Each structure stands twice: as C-alpha cells, then as structure tokens.
Amino acid sequence: MAIYILWLRQIKRYYRSKSRIIGSLGQPLLFLLAFGFGFGPIFQRAGGGNYIQFLAPGIIAMSILFLAIFSGIEIIWDKQFGFLKETLVAPISRLEIMIGRTLGGATVATAQGIIVLFIAYIAGFRLSGWAMFPFALIFMALISLLFTAFGTAIASVLDDMHGFQLIMNFLVMPLFFLSGALFPLAGLPKTLVIIAEIDPLSYGVDGLRHTLINASHFGLPVDLGILSALTFLLLILGSYLFSKIQI
C-alpha cells in the first residue's frame, strides 16, 4: 500500500507542472527535427537509408534517460527543503520508499518515451511492425527503471545541487552521445566500440531499434539480458545507498 501511494505521489508531482511537461519535450523535439531533417540527406547519400527511422529510437531512449535521471536527483531537492525528512520519518521502510519513488519516476519516464514515439510518428517515423511493440514498451520500462535507480543512487550520496552540473557533463551526456543513439556503431574505431559496449544505454537504444525497426547491432537476447541484469544491480545499489541517507 505504501509503495502504491508513493508511486502515485511521484506521478502526480510531475504532472502537476504543465511547464515542466512541455519543457521536457523540448530537447527530444529539437534533436529529432534538427538532426533528423538536417543530417537526413547526408545519411541517405551515405547509404544509411531514412535517418528519421534510425534516429527516432535513440531520441526516445534519450528522453527517457534525462527524465529518469532527473526523477532520481529530485531527492537532493527534497533533502534541502525538508520533504525527504517528512517521508523518512513515516512508519514505512526505506526500501518501500525507494521502490515507490523509483516506480513513479520510471512510469513518468516511460510515458514520456511513448509520447516522443508518437511525435516521431508524426515526423515520419514508421514501425516495421506492431507485433514487437509490446517488447519496445518493455525496453522503455527497463531503461526508465535503470536510470531512475541510477539517479537515486547518485542523489543518495550528494548533499546539494553543486555536483549536478558535473553529473550532466561527465555522466549523462556521454551516456547519450556514446550509446549509438545518433550514429551506427558498425564501422566505428575499436576504442569507441568498446566504450559503447560499456555504456548501458547502448543496449536500450539497440533493443528499441530491434523492436521498432527490426535493426540491431548486439542482438535482442544480449540487449534484454544485459539491460535486465544492470537494472537489477542498480535497483539494489540505489536501495542500499538510499537506506544510508542521514536526516
């Protein structure tokens, strides 16, 4: 019951702000339209086909990544303004609090990914078939859970927002740009391929490409296995670090 209440509270907290909803769609739209139509002719002349088709799964993953990370890092704000203390003193376990917040953040991030998918559809993106769409939703949910838990783990060890820019510059942006969201991984220098293989978002992007347009670099079993394992590990780590928060 407590998990359900915290889950709903996290969702309502996000959708209470209309400006925040609109603002969170701005960056995915910019990337989708500017990159999709700007680099589309170059990508097509290089033999890559329709760039919107290739780009859309990566932009969906990007929108989920950023919103999921921010959902986790909201814990820092709650620490500073005392909201987290009110939650932690409630007669429920910290594990339930963490699970409820994570599920709420992941639900919002997954919904954001679905919205971006429909926007991409308006821009010209087309699924290779609807049969794999339920698996695409599974990948969206796994990406959401993974990075919401990751954001929670980071926020649990930070005391203020001064380290937030560092996180954005040295963690979140490289995770996105080196995941293959904007360019194919095939034919890259070996160093970049190794980095992409370490990047957890790479498997989310690749899984979405496989389920949405039937194109894959690693293969669906690899994407699903690695992403599921990493999500499980980050949930454990996030839960442990959250349980150690001092109030």
- pLDDT at site 82: 65
Q: What pTM value is reported for the model?
A: 0.90
- The structure tokens listed for 233 are 């590990």
Burial of 125 (0-12, 13-18, 19+ CB in 10 A): buried
Q: Residues with Cβ < 8 Å from 10, sequence gap 6 or more?
A: 71, 100, 101, 103, 104, 105, 107, 108
Q: State which amino acid sits at residue 41.
A: P
CA 106 – CA 11 distance, rounded (Å): 9
What is the domain range of residue 148? 2-243
CA 238 – CA 67 distance, rounded (Å): 17
- pLDDT at site 220: 92
CA 176 – CA 64 distance, rounded (Å): 11
- pLDDT at site 233: 94
**Total number of domains constituting the chain:** 1
- pLDDT at site 60: 94
* 244 phi and psi angles, rounded to 5 deg: -95, 0
- pLDDT at site 151: 86
Distance of CA 232 to the CA centre of its chain: 15
- The structure tokens listed for 24 are 């969170």
pLDDT along the chain (247 residues), means of 10: 64 61 76 83 79 92 90 75 68 78 87 91 87 93 93 81 71 88 87 91 95 91 95 90 76
